[in-house]
Amino acid sequence: MSHAPHIAEEVRRRRTFAIISHPDAGKTTLTEKLLLFSGAIQIAGSVKARKASRHATSDWMEIEKQRGISVASSVMQMQYREHVINLLDTPGHKDFSEDTYRVLTAVDSALMVIDAANGVEAQTRRLIEVCRQRDTPIITFVNKMDREVRDPLDILDEVERELGMPCVPMTWPVGQGKSFGGIINLRTQAMTVFESGSERRPQDFEAIPVTDTATLKARFGSEFDAALDSMELATGASPAFDREAFLAGKQTPVFFGSGVNNFGVMEVLDALVDLAPWPKSRTSSLVVNKETVNKEVLPDDAAFSGVVFKVQANMDANHRDRIAFVRVASGKYQPGMKLKVQRTAKELRPTSVVTFMSQRREAVEEAYAGDIVGFTTHGGVQLGDTITDGSVALQYTGLPFFAPELFMTVVLKNPLRTKQLQQGLAQLGEEGAIQVFKPEMGGNMLLGAVGQLQFEVVQHRLKSEYDADVRLEGCQYTGARWITADTPTELKAFCDAYPQRLARDAADTLAYLCTSPYDVRLAQERFPKIHFHPLREHA
């Protein structure tokens, strides 16, 4: 494949990251400030407002409103210092963790927001695990320093333990809560003085060189001395910042601040530009002479390719169209371009192609690796699909589906709505809202989820979007494993032995349903050559 120099230049300008946190740590606030200071939005409050107006646009979002959680994740693009920054929000509720994991496959780095009073919380821990598995570089922002919070050394210690990698402080707080004086920037050796309020721009904060000890001591007294001491301890205990180590997911730069007060936020924005990586090559598989081989696709390859990491029903209940969120992996997307879905070898004709600016969707003019493009379609696209310009044959790997741990049987209240139910389940399954299993022996469809709330969303959406009123009933299954075998004969022997335990998911992949963990062990002992997969990667 040929490389295009101007594409390489565009790729190098891109930073695509996810913002992760436990609910209430301040993710929405920080997102808004990042947008504000990059100039993407003019007034504060609009991200929150948008979050609220999203509630109003669709009925099933009622669930989100009632529970005060964010179900859907969203994408925002901004320009800052000649760079294009793509920010991907992640749903905070644990029941939607599958969706979050998939969002994390579409980014090159992550910004972790921690509430300084609470440290690393449960939901953050799971997200960290996924980042760690993929060696995703993580920037840490310790938020709410204007509150009575924990000792910064204590927080660093906890982050280090949870992340399993050293923290490298880039800024250091002077005091906290009522006596929060500001932060010392370790690189510039200047202290930025804190003032509360949400009107101030980052450049409006006063900065005093650390060498001006007389002034700093006079103004911040013992807080300043204590900060110097603890800063010395922290820097003494941590390695120097090493960009290679950070990029390899082996250390995290840490920033302190207060999002709601616009404080310490610019440092994070600059870190994204200066430290975070631009898009790298991605692994794809392709079939050569009937053999599947792995291939690294470079972001500046001339051929356009991208992977669908999220499919979302349009909020408008009157239309059946859906938006496929594609992370561009290589080449350049241009309007009017012919597109092909690798899995089906069919042409994709989206009704619209949009990019996600901070507050609006805009028609895409061009997009490069790292950018997120939304294709509106009436179907034909699934999670994990690879979209290309047709000049290359490749299928990206690595989009994870996790074996569900909760199962329900779907019972239709009005049998005349069978067709609508099937259509609804097929589409919700393709969207990844839930996993749908069709038993090989026939009978009611099964729904598999990772979180209980997924069932409620699906039940609600089946009714409101497909007019299919269903009852969900418990069933005996507690797990599933995707099945593969080295030879068709082995697979057939296994299928003959467990016909009533087999089902196919939305991607038509065969799965074995179990009622207890022993099931898998027994089946494995009986059929040692069958592979039982707890995770399916789209391929």
**Which residues from 360-379 bind ligand GDP, rule CB under 6 A?**
none
Residue 92 labeled ligand binder: yes
Alpha carbons within 13 angstroms on the beta-carbon side of residue 74 total 20
Angle at the Cα of 374 (from 381 to 336), degrees rounded to 5? 90
The answer to whether 259 contacts ligand GDP (rule: CB under 6 A) is: yes
Residue 191 labeled ligand binder: no
Q: Nearest distance from residue 260's CB to ligand GDP, in Å?
A: 4
Nearer to ligand GDP, 258 or 454 (CB): 258
Residue 25 labeled ligand binder: yes
Rounded Cα gap, residues 432 and 473, in angstroms: 21
Q: Nearest distance from residue 23's CB to ligand GDP, in Å?
A: 5
Residue 353's DSSP bridge partners are 375
Instruction: Characterise 143 by phi-psi region: left (phi > 0), alpha (psi -120 to 50), beta (else).
Output: beta
Q: Nearest distance from residue 32's CB to ligand GDP, in Å?
A: 8
Residue 93 labeled ligand binder: yes
Residue 261 labeled ligand binder: no
The answer to whether 192 contacts ligand GDP (rule: CB under 6 A) is: no
Maximum pairwise Cα distance, the chain? 83
Among 11, 17, 26, 50, binds ligand GDP (CB under 6 A): 26
Nearer to ligand GDP, 21 or 435 (CB): 21
Rounded Cα gap, residues 104 and 399, in angstroms: 9
Four-residue CA torsion sign, 222, 228, 231, 236 = negative
Among 8, 24, 320, 398, binds ligand GDP (CB under 6 A): 24
Q: Nearest distance from residue 113's CB to ligand GDP, in Å?
A: 6
Rounded Cα gap, residues 122 and 390, in angstroms: 43
Residue 414 labeled ligand binder: no
The answer to whether 28 contacts ligand GDP (rule: CB under 6 A) is: yes
The answer to whether 100 contacts ligand GDP (rule: CB under 6 A) is: no
Stretch that binds ligand GDP, among 22-30, 232-240, 270-278, 517-525 (CB under 6 A): 22-30
Site track 29-68 with ligand GDP (rule: CB under 6 A), x = hit: x---------------------------------------
Alpha helices for 380-486 (secondary structure H): 418-431, 452-466
Edge-to-edge, what's the strand order for the sheet holding 109-115?
Answer: 75-80, 83-89, 14-21, 109-115, 138-143, 252-256, 167-169
Is 400 within 8 Å of 445 (Cβ atoms)? no
**Which residues from 136-155 bind ligand GDP, rule CB under 6 A?**
143-144, 146-147
Nearer to ligand GDP, 144 or 327 (CB): 144
Among 7, 15, 21, 428, binds ligand GDP (CB under 6 A): 21
**Which residues from 260-319 bind ligand GDP, rule CB under 6 A?**
260-261
Judged by CB under 6 A, the number of residues near ligand GDP is 17
Rounded Cα gap, residues 181 and 228, in angstroms: 13
Residue 23 labeled ligand binder: yes
Q: Name every residue whose Cβ is closer than 8 Å to that of residue 360 and which is 6 or more positions away in sequence.
A: none
First-to-last alpha carbon distance for the chain, in angstroms, is: 22
Q: Nearest distance from residue 472's CB to ligand GDP, in Å?
A: 29
Q: Which residues bind ligand GDP (CB under 6 A)?
A: 21, 23-29, 92, 143-144, 146-147, 258-261
Residue ranges for the known binding site for GTP are 21-28, 89-93, 143-146
